[in-house]
Every structure is written in C-alpha cells, then in structure tokens.
Amino acid sequence: MNGYSVTSLLIAYIWAAVWLWYGIKHYRPQTNAFFWLTLDIFGACVCILGVSVLKLNSIKIATILLVAIFFYDIFFVFITPFLTGGKSVMLDVATGSAPDPSEEDHCYKYPEDCQGIGFLPMIFIFPQINDYADGSTILGLGDIVLPGFLIAFCARHDAAARLIGIHSPENEGIIDVPIKWYEGYFFSMMVAYSSGLFFAFLAVIIMEQGQPALLYICPICLATIFCLGRKDWKDLWNGAKVFQIADKLIKKTERKWGKERMKHFAEQRRRENTTLGTSSGNEGEAKPHSRRRSLEPNTHISNNLSPTATKRDLTEDTQPVSKDVCFGYEGHPGTIAFRTVVEEVATDLGEEEYRPEIYKIIKKKLKGRRFFKNDDIIWAEATKLEARKEIGIAYDQARGRVSSVLEDFDPLSLPTL
C-alpha cells in the first residue's frame, strides 16, 4: 500500500466519522448540504462498486431479478397500506421512524428526542427547491443498482462487439457491430432508464404520494432490451457469444504482444552483446592473449605466489573453461550447450510456467558445469540465486513466454500491434 492509498483512506475515514457525528447530534440533518451531499457521494460509490463487481454474461438473471422486484414493490407499496391501516411499509423503511415533522412543538420542547439520522443511509437525498418545510426527494440505491446490472451488461456487450469489429475483419456480419456511439444496446437502455425515472417522478407529482421507481423502470427497461434484441434473444438469454469471442481475441493479442516484447528484449540483449564484444575486441588488440587466457583453464601457477600456498590454493580454478556456462556470452561452447539443454527440456516437458522442478532437471543435465557472469569485464562465478534466475529466463525464452525480467520495460515503447 503506497502513500497515496494511505492518505485517501485516512481522509475517507475522517470524512465518514464527521458525517456520522453530525447526523447523530443534529435534528433533521438531511437538510444540511454537507450531510446530504456526503450521503449521495457514499451512495454513488456503493452503486458503482456493486455494478462493477457483479458482471452478468446473460440477461436471464437480470430479467428474473427485475420481474421479482417489480411485483415486490407493488405488494409493499400498494397492498400493504390496506393491511397496516394506510401506512406504507416501504416508505417507513426508507424515511425512518422519526417524529412527525408536523409536531414541531415536541421537537422544540424535547430537542434530544429528535436528534439522529432516523433512516437507513441507503438512499439518495435531493432537497426540494423553494420548499418552506425543507422537504426532500429520495431515491433508493436499489432503484439504481438493480437496473444497473442489466445496463452494465449492455455496455459490456457493445464494447465487446466493437472490439471484435475492429480487430476481426473476418467477422462477415456474424455479429452486429455498433458503429456510432448511439447504436447498440447501451444508449437505448440509458434512455429507457431515464424515461422510467421520469415517469416515476411524474407519478409522485400527480398522486402526491411516494411511488416505487422500479414499478416504472423495470417494465420499460425489459421491454427495450427484448425489442432491440429480438433477433438475438436466444443468444442474449443463454449467454452472449460476443464475450467468448472477445476474450479469445484479447488472449491472442496478449500472446502476440508478449512475443513482440520478447523480440524487443532479444534485440536489446543482442545489441548489448555486440557492444560487449566490441569493447572486448578493442582490449584484445592491446592484449591479444588476455581474453584467451580468461576463458581457458588457469593451469599455470603465477611466479609471484607465496611459497606457503597450499596445493588446493594452487589448483583452484576461478576462470570458466570451455564446458562452463557463461551468461551473456552466447558464442561460448558451454553457453551453446546450455541453450540446447534448456530447449530440449522445454520441448519434452511442455510446461508453460517455470517451476523449481524444471530448474532441478536442467541443473541435473548440466551436472559438472559451472555458471559464470560477466562482472565489469571480469568473469565471476554466479551465485545459486543468479544461476536460478538466468535458467528461468532461458526457459521462458525457449517457451516463447514473457519473462519477469521484462517488467522493467515500458510497453508503450514497443511497436503497435
């Protein structure tokens, strides 16, 4: 977690704590701009999170949900008043059980009894303009989230169809691709939702009582999606195939992008090796036998060795021989043999991911060979961790996969696919 996330969380918690304190300690806090604006922001975040987390691949679940909530609203808004003496259960739950605003004398005499939010913070509050009683218009979060599942499905469907139309010219009319911004399902569904919400508020003005917004939104949205998708109704109901095609296209593009990154990485390594070979060649002109001596067994004992040196010290070889692996020097016989072994193991196993078992197999086949890395023009024996990392990179290259070493490269610098 970085500093930006910590700061954002700290501000959010402090903001929420102040909002909660204000709502508990004041009478009718929803009349304060800070309170209802904060409540609306929190509600919008909850709606966005809910719609983005639950992604539907068909309209089946959304249709069943909207039909069920349609009859649910009818029962609790229009039928329950006959069973509860004229009180609407849904309206009481939304607005809370606070004292009747007409009983202002009670709040003046006992202000502590009227403090508190008095309702569940699961609604949007919009104050009515030029209302002497400071009235508010409310809209439940469910009125946005539940139709939002269907609208989000339409947005994903249009995006997948456009992706297929751009990157798959061989589509040949199998899938209808929306070209203009207002084509497809999403724009029409947004118009349908807005119309349903408009009729809900119009009913509130005409009937002068609270109305369930989903009573008007659900039929209009369902009628719109079924009318527009009447040719593809079976596909939309059982699972849109555009999502499957788009997912395959994305995976194919990612593999192609990975190969391009690998080519970029290989080209960079080739340039580095060429530069290293050029610098080594320049040094070889001044000392023609220096490179040869650095890559051959050190069989000659230096004349300036201490007479007290042990036999083990004299025979210890700290330079690579022809069978050893020199990472970064592709022309070395040991490195060529190393690449051959890695390619054989990658072909035989067919494993995509580099695992510790693969490292053990390759290390066993290279038994007796040492691993060296070039450290400032001097060959030094690689550590076990460095050898494991280089073997993993070589295995990824043999499999044509993107190695973890490539994380340092900027994808924007690669050629466009």
The tokens for 164 are 């297929």
Extended beta strands in 13-166, E state: 123-127, 136-140
The half-sphere exposure of 32 on its side-chain side, counting CA atoms within 13 A, is: 15
Name the residues annotated as catalytic. Answer: 73, 143
Q: Going by DSSP bridges, is the β-strand pair 371-375/378-381 parallel, antiparallel, or unpaired?
A: antiparallel
Longest dimension (CA), the chain: 113
Burial (CB < 10 A; 0-12, 13-18, 19+), residue 131, is exposed
Amino acid present at 207: M
DSSP per-residue string spanning 352-381:
SS--HHHHHHHHHHTTT--EEEEETTEEEE
DSSP per-residue string spanning 273-298:
HHHHHHHHHHHHHHSTTHHHHHHS--
Answer for the pair 185, 229: CB distance below 8 angstroms, yes or no.
yes
The 3-state DSSP composition of the chain as helix, strand, coil percent (nearest 5) reads: 65, 5, 30
Report residue 242: phi and psi, to 5°: -65, -30
Spatial separation of the C-alpha atoms in residues 313 and 336, rounded to whole Å: 30
